Chain A
């Protein structure tokens, strides 16, 4: 029988349907074991459904796939038995829920906020997932998490970097990864440290794609520029997926800033770098985006032209020197998927692990219990694969207060951590060599 369920009923129902076998039995009229006595605690489910919303098709599908691999690996580590210093690795499944396994339900939003919203609704109402994870694009995360907020389902985000997401102060929304403000600050910290080394920077330029992701990054860059005392001489917002960026680059060239801050998606970035080369623009580029750095093919697609731009990252492969778990996980990843672990994979992996850990500590699939467990999360840095001090959510915004980034440079076809200087695996190349001298 199909009938409409109110939201309140639904929230109860979620627990009942997935978690409470006994309740379910009583409703359908089958005599439950021990009927008539005080209700027994609901039997632990054998599987805990988690909904994952990512761009699995469309222009950003390659990044979506990286996230998917990360999440699949995390679920595998939780569900199986692995000797790794990570939460839930050494036990099979979720021990506090009788060894229940994480079951991932995938949804594709193809980069569209509307589809993200619809998929979130479908996952919650039809698939009855206990929590959601996703959705890479900040704009999609914004709409999908609104659904979760409305329906009272925990939503963990690992890789959207728009600061406004956590500034909304949602009750059910948690972000494990750093946001653009942190990333942006890290880039300016690098500039300040470079000045200590005698590099003079006065003016900066900003070029960003014009959706939420780029505009937020633009706002933050401007804010930090003011705070750190740099003058913004050119500020360009361009439409993503454009066929030609000659005019944008001409404009940047005409204004000639000392350092250029760029926030783009991968496709546009490839176009920009090629146009820089074509028009001989060679000022230091600071990439305030995660595009490209996380797609191994980006470096492959551009070859040597991809080198020397400074990019921020939440993760880099050379972190494996500091985190033993990261090394093992990166090897597993390479073996399982035949491609190196990327920043996106690592962030999504960590998000999934944090969520699984919270569900386990909640000892139930009750949304409120999971929410409380998320709030109480306190995972030390050495139990993650990230360059963080750990995972602990801010009480109000639910942003992971320990999340931070590193700055990288591609040199000789490989990413190296160049900042913070004490963690650097290679000396920074500054400024970028001229195109004719490469």
Chain B
């Protein structure tokens, strides 16, 4: 492997890793605060991608701008999900909670197929098309834009959670629901917020991905599984963990894929299992 090829592979891995990170941050946030795994996370992503696609196809709004629409839009979807579904199963058995979000995932997939058909779509002429070449290393411009956008969004979420009053309230709720409520924190509001922000993360990620990825009703599954691995690897509920985990998985997947394409997912899961054996709580998990 020549050095510039190595650089190319590493860069490609990091670029996709940033996007994995953002998706996983949304997932880990919901889990951290609620103790509920959102199995419809991939479908939220799919909805965001379709939103970006339709804004592009109908109103010629490029994903670079529709990010600003898709984020808030998915925030609303997240809030609605909590208000209409999750609120009612907060104290239900875990199995009921799993089936609730899993059912939502099947529903959203089928709805998308019903409304928009099973066909593949994509944004053919994104504003940031083409690629740039730096010393023989190619950067796809949409990929770079997506990575930058993902870093900014992840940073924003990080600041919100660790540097604001609201974020401290979220952390407190995630740590101990009852005590937080006793301290005067409106936990119901925190739950709603967690769903909103968690979904908004994939809203942003979806719009960013739509710049270079194909869009169809099943596209969520491709990313959802990876993001579950990232979350478990980084530690459930840890934003930092999800970020680092995303980068690790992105990197491992691309580097392993270069060395032996048939086994790339095998290596990804091996790394995951090794970490879990060594630190069952994940890299940055609290428990």
- With A244-B254, A250-B258 in contact, do A58 and B218 touch (Cβ < 8 Å)? yes
Task: Assess whether B185 is interfacial by the CB under 8 Å rule.
Answer: no
Interface presence of B155 (CB below 8 A): no
* Contacting residues of chain A (239-271) with chain B, CB-CB under 8 angstroms: 239, 241-248, 250-251, 254, 266-267, 270-271
Do A270 and B120 touch (CB < 8 A)? yes
The answer on a CB contact under 8 Å between A278 and B131 is yes
Indicate if the CB atoms of A254 and B5 lie closer than 8 Å.
yes
Q: Nearest chain B CB to A232's CB is how many angstroms away?
A: 15
Per a CB cutoff under 8 Å, which of B16, B113, B124, B219 touches A244?
B16
- Which chain B residues border A274 with CB–CB below 8 Å? 212
Residue B81 lies at the interface, judged by CB distance under 8 Å to chain A: no
**Minimum CB distance partner of A243 in chain B:** B222
Whether A267 touches B214, Cβ cut-off 8 Å, given contacts A243-B226, A250-B9, A295-B120, is yes
A167 at interface (Cβ–Cβ under 8 A)? no
Is B214 within 8 A of A270, CB to CB? Answer: yes
Decide if B177 is an interface residue (CB 8 Å cutoff): no
Q: Does A303 contact B (CB under 8 A)?
A: yes
A297 and B121 within 8 A (CB): yes
Query: Which of B16, B218, B265 has the largest count of A CB atoms less than 10 A from its CB?
Result: B218
Contacts A61-B118, A246-B16, A274-B212; is A238 near B264 (CB within 8 Å)? yes
A65 CB within 8 Å of chain B = yes
Decide: A278 and B261 in contact? CB cutoff 8 A: no
Contact code string B240-270 (vs A, CB < 8 Å = 1, else 0)? 0000000000100111111101101100000
B131 and A241 contact, CB distance less than 8 A: no
Residue contact B261 to A238, C-beta cutoff 8 Å: yes
Return the contact of B12 from the options A58, A250, A271 (Cβ within 8 A).
A250
Residues of B within 8 A of A246 (CB): 9, 12-13, 16, 254, 257
CB distance from A339 to the nearest CB of B (A): 10
Indicate whether A280 reaches chain B with its CB closer than 8 angstroms. yes
B119 with A62: CB separation less than 8 A: yes
**Chain A residue at minimal CB-CB distance from B118:** A61
> Which residues of chain A are near B1, meaning CB under 8 Å?
254
Distance from A67 Cβ to chain B, minimum over Cβ atoms (Å): 12
Q: How far is the CB of A182 from the nearest CB of chain B, in Å?
A: 26
Q: How far is the CA of A278 from the CA of B218 in the complex (A)?
A: 24
What distance in Å separates the Cβ of A279 from its nearest Cβ neighbour in chain B?
Answer: 5
In the complex, the answer to whether A298 meets B13 with C-beta atoms within 8 Å is no
Q: Which one, B16, B125, B216, contacts A243 given CB within 8 A?
A: B16
B282 to nearest A CB, angstroms? 21
Contact string against A for B residues 122-149, beta-carbon threshold 8 Å, 1 for contact and 0 otherwise: 1011000001010000101001000000
Give Cα distance in the complex from A295 to B117, angstroms: 13
A237 and B260 alpha carbons, distance in the complex (Å): 9
Asked, given contacts A58-B218, A239-B265, whether A270 binds B257 with beta carbons under 8 Å apart, the answer is: no
A199 at interface (Cβ–Cβ under 8 A)? no
Task: With both chains docked as a complex, state the minimum distance between the C-beta of B189 and any C-beta of chain A, in angstroms.
Answer: 35
Contacts of A433 in B (CB 8 A): none
Given A246-B254, A266-B120, A280-B138, check contact A57 B261 (CB 8 Å).
no
Contact of A248 with B257 at beta-carbon distance under 8 Å, contacts A267-B214, A270-B214 already known: yes
Determine which residue in B16, B117, B122, B133 has the highest number of CB atoms from chain A within 10 A of its CB, and name it.
Answer: B122
- Of A271, A277, A278, A303, most buried by chain B (CB within 10 Å of CB) is A278
Instruction: State the CA gap A279–B130 with chains docked (Å).
Output: 10
Contact residues of A between 8 and 34, Cβ < 8 Å to B: none
Per the 8 Å Cβ criterion, residues 9-32 of B in contact with A are: 9, 12-13, 16
Q: Chain A nearest CB: distance from B210 CB in Å? A: 12
B258 touches A301 (CB 8 A): no
Q: Is the CB of B110 within 8 A of A57?
A: yes
Instruction: Give A353 to B8 CA distance when docked, in angstroms.
Output: 52
Q: Name the residue of chain B whose CB is nearest to the CB of A274.
A: B212
Contact of B213 with A by CB under 8 A: yes
Given known pairs A250-B8, A301-B122, the reply for A236 and B131 (CB within 8 Å) is: no
The answer on a CB contact under 8 Å between B12 and A59 is no
Minimum CB distance partner of A210 in chain B: B262
Provide the bound-state CA to CA distance between A28 and B218, in Å: 50
Contact (Cβ within 8 A) A302 B119: no
CA distance A246 to B12 in the complex (A): 7
Contact A243 B223 (CB under 8 A): yes
Task: State A301–B256 Cα separation when bound (angstroms).
Answer: 29
A57–B217 CA distance with the chains assembled, in angstroms: 10
Asked if B261 and A236 make an inter-chain contact with CB atoms under 8 angstroms apart, the answer reads yes
**A25 CB to nearest B CB, Å:** 44
CB distance from B223 to the nearest CB of A (A): 6
Closest 7 pairs (CB-CB, A-B): A247-B257, A61-B118, A303-B124, A278-B140, A246-B12, A247-B258, A297-B119
Chosen A-B contacts, 11 in total, with CB atoms closer than 8 Å, are A61-B118, A236-B261, A238-B257, A244-B254, A254-B1, A254-B5, A267-B216, A295-B120, A297-B120, A301-B124, A303-B124
